[in-house]
């Protein structure tokens, strides 16, 4: 029998490197694919800061190539610059200009890593049966319903299930996550033992852009100054562009003479205003979520209680219930009021360690 072929998304880091190594040890025929996403015309400044998008990409591709050579597997580079700009960079910038705060990693995973990377690899003539990445998650299947579902990693500090809630059943059916059953400390120990010490000691890339802040992405955009108003609509200051502010922000408002502590309560892109107010205005008992994707269930037909939600990748799990409004939106009600709900961010729902699904926060209640 021919071996099943697994294409592994290689980034040059320890997680994808060890994923490829482990799969080869399990008897698969393994190949490495690395996406090239940085467009040099973006002219981002050179920096030592690590990130997914920036001028250091050539170095990361070389690291991925070396890892494949060491594991003794073929390596391919897939050009996805156009797709990444349209689906991640432009989406990110346009969302900020609209006053919302998107998560670029979620868009990248659903549309680029588990979408265009596979499509363009196959168009290039690369044949494979499964696709794998170094994400810290687990995948399983409900034999009764036939649905695939995502489970948290056994390592709570490294769990990345939040970033993958947009994956479809079609995508999940051909995925393997080799390190979901590993603790990161154990994976580093194994890497050192088998001769991959340099990958175990390598700094991790956890940022979207190789820059100190996202301002570098907006240098060619028309950013307008506008009014900062209080909750009564009174102008109390001036902002230097809504893209420089997020809900809950306190620093950088430059309202020294206001006499009290203000937080960003609302970003109104239509009127180009920032609304500020006391901290208590940041709290809310619920929200509306749209752009839904469910994994463990086909759709939300009835209220689900006693579940947990996450509104930020590194945030806490929040007790809540979710209530269907229609086919495209749901209401989320928290057991305790939550602070700084960010329109544009993703909210992901869990039943213990199983990902139910998630959506995009439209507005707070």
49 and 182 together in one domain? yes
* pLDDT of res. 55: 86
89 and 189 together in one domain? yes
Look at the alpha carbons of 206, 177, 197, 72 in this order and tell me if their dihedral is positive or negative: negative
33 and 124 together in one domain? yes
Q: Which of 32, 245, 200, 198 is nearest to 131 (CA)?
A: 32
Contact 80, 89 (CB under 8 A): no
Q: Which of 83, 42, 40, 32 is nearest to 58 (CA)?
A: 40
Residues 6+ apart with CB under 8 A from 216: 44, 45, 209
* pLDDT of res. 1: 52
Q: What's 271's domain CATH number? A: 2.30.30.280
53 and 191 together in one domain? yes
pLDDT in tens, the chain (365 residues): 578 999 999 999 999 999 999 999 999 999 999 999 999 888 887 777 778 888 889 999 999 999 999 999 999 999 999 999 999 999 999 999 999 999 999 999 999 999 999 999 999 999 999 999 999 999 999 999 999 999 999 999 999 999 999 999 999 999 999 999 999 999 999 999 999 998 888 877 667 887 777 888 888 788 899 999 999 999 998 999 999 999 999 887 877 665 678 999 999 999 999 999 999 999 999 999 999 999 999 999 999 999 999 999 889 999 999 999 998 999 999 999 999 999 999 999 999 999 999 999 999 99
273 and 186 together in one domain? no
- 248 φψ region: left (φ > 0), alpha (ψ -120 to 50), beta (else): left
Instruction: Phi first, then psi: give them for residue 151, nearest 5 degrees.
Output: -120, 155
Distance of CA 258 to the CA centre of its chain: 37
118 and 28 together in one domain? yes
Dist CA 280 CA 104 (whole Å): 29
124 and 76 together in one domain? yes
Contact 129, 4 (CB under 8 A): yes
Look up residue 164 and give its DSSP letter.
G
* pLDDT of res. 126: 97
Do β-strands 74-79 and 283-294 pair in parallel, antiparallel, or remain unpaired?
unpaired
Helix (H, G, I), strand (E, B) or coil at 315: coil
- Would residue 230 count as lying in a domain? yes
Contact 177, 137 (CB under 8 A): yes
* pLDDT of res. 206: 66
Dist CA 167 CA 225 (whole Å): 38
Question: Which range marks the domain in which residue 113 is found?
Answer: 5-134+178-200
Dist CA 148 CA 52 (whole Å): 28
* pLDDT of res. 211: 75
DSSP secondary structure of 193-209: HTT-HHHHSSPP---SB
Contact 348, 137 (CB under 8 A): no
Where is 282: in which H helix or E strand?
Answer: none
Where is 322: in which H helix or E strand?
Answer: strand 318-324
* pLDDT of res. 255: 79
77 and 112 together in one domain? yes
Please state the length of the chain.
Answer: 365
Contact 150, 167 (CB under 8 A): yes
- Would residue 126 count as lying in a domain? yes
End-to-end CA distance of the chain: 58
Dist CA 128 CA 41 (whole Å): 33
- Would residue 26 count as lying in a domain? yes
Q: What's 53's domain CATH number? A: 3.40.50.620
Q: State how many domains the chain has.
A: 2
76 and 191 together in one domain? yes
* pLDDT of res. 256: 67
């Amino acid at each position: 029998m021919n071996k099943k072929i697994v294409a592994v998304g290689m980034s040059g880091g320890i997680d994808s490197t060890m994923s490829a190594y482990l799969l080869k040890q399990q008897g698969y025929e393994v190949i490495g694919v690395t996406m090239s996403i940085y467009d040099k015309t973006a002219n981002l400044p050179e920096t030592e800061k690590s990130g997914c998008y920036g001028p250091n990409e050539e170095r990361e591709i070389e690291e991925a190539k070396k890892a494949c050579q060491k594991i003794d597997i073929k390596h391919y580079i897939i050009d996805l610059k156009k797709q990444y700009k349209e689906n991640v960079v432009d989406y990110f910038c346009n969302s900020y200009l609209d006053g919302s705060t998107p998560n670029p990693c979620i868009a990248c995973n659903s549309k680029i890593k588990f979408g265009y990377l596979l499509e363009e690899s196959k168009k290039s003539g690369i044949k494979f049966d499964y696709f794998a990445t170094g994400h810290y998650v687990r995948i399983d299947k409900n034999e009764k319903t036939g649905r695939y579902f995502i489970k948290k990693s056994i390592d709570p500090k490294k769990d990345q299930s939040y970033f993958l809630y947009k994956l479809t059943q079609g995508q999940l059916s051909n995925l393997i996550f080799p390190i979901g059953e590993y603790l990161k400390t154990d994976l580093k120990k194994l890497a050192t033992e088998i001769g991959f010490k340099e990958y175990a000691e390598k700094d991790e890339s956890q940022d979207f852009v190789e820059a100190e802040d996202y301002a570098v992405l907006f240098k060619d955009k028309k950013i307008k100054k506008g009014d900062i108003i209080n909750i009564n609509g009174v102008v109390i200051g001036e902002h230097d562009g809504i893209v420089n502010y997020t809900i809950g922000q306190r620093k950088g408002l430059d309202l020294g003479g206001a006499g009290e502590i203000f937080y960003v309560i609302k970003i109104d892109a239509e009127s180009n205003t920032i609304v500020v107010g006391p901290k208590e205005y940041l709290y809310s008992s619920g929200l509306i979520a749209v752009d839904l994707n469910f994994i463990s269930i086909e759709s939300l037909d009835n209220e689900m209680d006693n579940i947990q939600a996450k509104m930020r990748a590194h945030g806490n799990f929040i007790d809540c219930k979710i209530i269907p409004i229609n086919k495209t939106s749901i209401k989320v009600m928290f057991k305790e009021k939550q602070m700084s709900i960010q329109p544009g961010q993703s909210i992901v729902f869990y039943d213990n360690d199983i990902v139910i699904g998630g959506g995009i926060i439209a507005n707070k209640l």
